[in-house]
Structure formats: C-alpha cells, structure tokens
Amino acid sequence: MARRDPVRWIAMHAEAFIADMAMALGVGLAGGLIARSLRFSPIIGYLLAGLILGPFTPGYVAQAETVGVLAEVGVVFLMFGVGLHFNLTELAKTRGVSLPGALANTALVVLVGIGVAKLFGFSVRDGIVFGLAISVASTVVLVRTLQERGLLDTNTGRTAVGWLIVEDVLTVFFLVALPLMTDDGDSSLGSLAAADLECRDLWRGDGRAGLEAHSASSGLGGA
C-alpha cells in the first residue's frame, strides 16, 4: 500500500481537517489540564481525549485519516524538538549500557514470546512478533515523560533514550527480516535487493536513480 502524503491529504480535506484539528486540540488540552490537576501525566489526558473523539463513544467522531495525519505531524515536531536538545557525544557515552542492555532485553523477551507461542500452538514467527511487541516501549512517550520531569538531559535519561533507540533499530530489522521466514520469501528478497540498490545509488551520489528506484518500489508496494 502506497504511503499517504500528509500535506497533499490536508490540502484535499481542508475543511474536515480544520474541524477535527480544532476538536482534537480543544479536547486534548482539556484532558491534559485535568490530568495534570490530578497529578497524572498529561499523556493520560491525551489518551482519554482520543477515546472521547473516537468511534466507540457517543458524540463528535473525528475521522481516522485526519487523526492519523495529526499524529504523524505531531510525532515529527516532537522528535524534532527533542533532537534540538540532543548531544550525540553525550548520548554515545551510554552505549556501554544501552547497547548490551537493549540487545539482552529484546533477546530474552523474544525467547519468552516464542516459548509462549509454542505452548499455545502458534508458530515461531508468531512468537517473534509477540515478543517484539511486548519488548519495545514507545520512544515518543518516554521522551515526552522525561521532558516533563526534567530528566531528558541527565545520564539516566540519555541511557533510557539510547536503550529505546537500539530497540527501535532492532524492531525495524526484525520486521524486514520476518517475511523471509514465510513462503513469500522470494518477493521479500526482491524488496530487500531493491532497497539495497536504491541505497547504493544514493550513496554514489546518483540521486535521480535513487529517487526513481524509490518510486518504483513504492509503486510495487501499492499494487
């Protein structure tokens, strides 16, 4: 499936987007303030706001596509703001803890997931997916929480962020490799080869060839 372009989608659905955005901001702000007044993280209020505007509660229902676009834009700005405060040198100093810790944690939880899957009659592949799902935390939520508590620039905060970055990379690797374990392995190998060719073209500076390869692979993905 072809990836949606948020900017183009907003231009085509401006009126509905503005209405949903106004409702999301208003209800989200109210939820955040209520949560903070109760000494909870504002994230709890934001989650409740999403529940209120969702299709499973009465009243105003935001369009799923609009919320998806808002979520993508929000994550981009949040991570951009966090990146402005990141010191890569300081973050790299935590690799002695974050790298082996994340690797060991992911491996252990995936093994447990495989064991649980086999116990209930599921496949090894299902166990790997289950293990990955419960081994990875939300980097965005963690960063936001650390920011609120003033811990992002501490050694503990940098170690936690570095840990989750390693887990994110591992998850992406496993999600790319998982199709190779199924009967559709040939097409997966073809996708990996196309991605490798695209990276090589961009690395050599052949930007046009790289963009064409990317367009071709996107077209195949949406077919």
Q: How far apart (Å, rounded) are the C-alpha atoms in residues 216 and 138?
A: 32
Is the predicted pLDDT of residue 33 greater than 70, yes or no? yes
- 């372009």: which residue's tokens? 5
Boundaries of domain holding 66:
1-84
What's the confidence (pLDDT) of residue 5?
Answer: 62
In this predicted model, which residue has the larger pLDDT, 154 or 70?
154
Question: Does 11 map to a domain?
Answer: yes
Q: How confident is the model at residue 4 (pLDDT cuts 50, 70, 90)?
A: low
Q: Which of 63, 62, 27 is nearest to 46 (CA)?
A: 27
| Amino acid identity for residue 186 in this structure | D
> What's this model's pTM, rounded to 2 decimal places?
0.55
Mean pLDDT of 1-16: 63
Single residue among 36, 62, 84 that ends a domain in this structure? 84
Is 196 within a domain?
yes
Q: Does 134 reside within a domain? A: no
Percentage of residues of the chain with pLDDT beyond 90: 5
* 101 is a domain residue: no
Q: Does any domain span residue 221?
A: yes
What is residue 94's three-state secondary structure?
A: coil
CA-closest candidate to residue 49, choices 70, 23, 18: 23
User: Residue for token digits 């009967």?
Assistant: 183
Please write the tens of the pLDDT for every residue from 11-31.
666 777 788 788 888 888 998
State residue 10's pLDDT score: 61
**Structure tokens that stand for 59 in this block:** 């009243």
Report the number of distinct structural domains present in the chain: 2
Q: Which residues contact 101 (CB under 8 A, 6 or more apart)?
A: 163
Assigned domain for 195 exists: yes
Rounded to the nearest 10°, the torsion over CA 41, 42, 45, 51 is: -100
pLDDT digits (tens, 9 = 90+) for 94-145: 778 888 888 898 899 989 999 999 999 988 888 888 888 888 777 777 877 8
| Confidence at 67, pLDDT banded by 50, 70, 90 | confident
Query: For residue 171, is it within any domain?
Result: no
Longest Cα separation, the chain:
55
Where a domain ends, among 32, 52, 84? 84
Instruction: Point out the domain boundary residue: 84, 112, 142.
Output: 84
pLDDT at 191: 54
Q: What is the pLDDT of residues 74-103, one digit of tens each?
A: 777 776 766 666 667 777 777 788 888 888
pLDDT value at residue 16: 74
CA atoms of 145 and 142, how far apart (whole Å): 5
- Checking if the pLDDT of 161 tops 80, the result is yes
Residue 128 lies in a domain: no
Residue with tokens 């703001």: 81
Distant-in-sequence, close-in-space partners of 125: CB < 8 Å, separation ≥ 6? 178, 181, 182
Spatial separation of the C-alpha atoms in residues 158 and 143, rounded to whole Å: 10
Q: What's the confidence (pLDDT) of residue 34?
A: 92
> What's the rounded Cα separation, in Å, for the pair 217 and 223?
10
Alpha-carbon gap, residue 129 to 200, rounded angstroms:
30
